[in-house]
């Protein structure tokens, strides 16, 4: 992404090297990085970004404290600003089909026309959700967004939920995929909790940049028993191993008491 003072998005960086190229070094620019220790942005003058295959291998200022790959393409980034990937903290990737339709829509009309309770809940098939989710996440990558918190408000059935999650896995985006618990006509709360438990056991999460989360809007409006069940599920899902979750589930199984 180049504009004005020449911004370089990190999709461009990460995808710059063709499959046959071993590595690319973007050298000598101003890097907008993140200091994990200080928990703040860090601006690196005379900074460089090393990309190996399709991953960022190093971000540094000045000389590289390591061994550079032998087959290295060097791109002069002098006078450019390099950003090592943007984080989108609130996205509904499944809504890609609605792109450009809601620019002048009020929040109330947005909920009516495009939200989880909109006509999409009865019109969109699981395949529609899959396509929207996948295209939306790839579109984010193309814009330089490498990490997404994705609120999956399209979980109208087990098939819809699984389609959205399949697309998240396929996209390769680093994703916190937040399974939504909602008031769905043909998908009871008990069925939603059972599906969530099944998704926690999905082995694809073990070697993936996608992680499973929870989306829930009923803290102030829903039955307290339902809210307690969801909080218990969140704690259960965070247990360190499948065996620990199995023991916990056996000892204190989730008992939702407020079906949709």
Mean pLDDT of the chain: 86
C-alpha to C-alpha distance for 104 and 122, rounded to whole angstroms: 24
Query: Is 46 a residue whose pLDDT tops 80?
Result: yes
Going along the chain from its start, the domains and CATH numbers come out as 7-84 (2.30.40), 87-251 (3.20.20.140)
Q: Compute the average pLDDT of residues 166-190.
A: 95
Structure-block tokens of residue 224: 């307290």
The values of phi and psi at residue 180, to 5°, are: -95, 130
Rounded (10°) angle between helices 158-171 and 126-142: 30
The predicted pLDDT at position 209 comes to 92
Distance CA 58, CA 47 (A): 11
pTM: 0.76
Mean pLDDT of 132-139: 96
pLDDT at 108 over 90: yes
> pLDDT digits over 51-77, tens only?
998 788 999 998 888 888 888 999 999
Which tens digits make up the pLDDT trace of 150-172? Answer: 999 999 999 999 999 999 999 99
Residue 133 pLDDT grade (very low, low, confident, very high; cuts 50, 70, 90): very high
Residue 152, C-beta contacts closer than 8 angstroms, at least 6 positions apart: 92, 94, 161, 164, 165, 177, 178, 179, 180, 215
Q: How far is CA 161 from CA 77, 97, 181, 244, in A?
A: 42, 17, 11, 25
């Amino acid at each position: 992404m180049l504009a004005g003072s020449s911004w370089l998005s990190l999709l461009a960086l990460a995808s710059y090297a063709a499959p046959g190229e071993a590595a690319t070094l973007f050298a000598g620019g101003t890097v907008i990085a993140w200091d994990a220790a200080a928990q703040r942005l860090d601006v690196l003058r005379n900074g460089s970004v090393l990309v190996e295959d399709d991953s960022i291998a190093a971000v540094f200022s000045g000389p590289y404290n390591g061994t550079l790959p032998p087959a290295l393409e060097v791109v002069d980034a002098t006078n450019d600003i390099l950003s090592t990937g943007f984080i989108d903290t609130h996205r509904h990737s499944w809504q890609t089909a609605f792109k450009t339709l809601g620019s002048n829509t009020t929040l109330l009309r947005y909920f009516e026309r495009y939200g989880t309770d909109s006509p999409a809940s009865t019109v969109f098939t699981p395949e529609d959700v899959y396509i929207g989710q996948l295209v939306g996440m790839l579109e984010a990558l193309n814009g330089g967004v490498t990490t997404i918190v994705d609120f999956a408000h399209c979980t109208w059935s087990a098939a819809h939920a699984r389609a959205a999650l399949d697309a998240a896995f396929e996209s390769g985006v680093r994703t916190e995929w937040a399974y939504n618990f909602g008031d769905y006509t043909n998908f009871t709360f008990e069925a939603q909790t059972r599906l969530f438990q099944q998704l926690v056991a999905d082995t694809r999460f073990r070697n993936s940049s996608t992680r499973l989360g929870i989306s829930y809007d009923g803290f102030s409006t829903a039955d307290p028993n339902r809210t307690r069940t969801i909080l218990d599920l969140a704690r259960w899902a965070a247990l360190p191993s499948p065996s620990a979750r199995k023991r916990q589930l056996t000892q204190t199984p989730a008992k939702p008491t407020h079906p949709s």
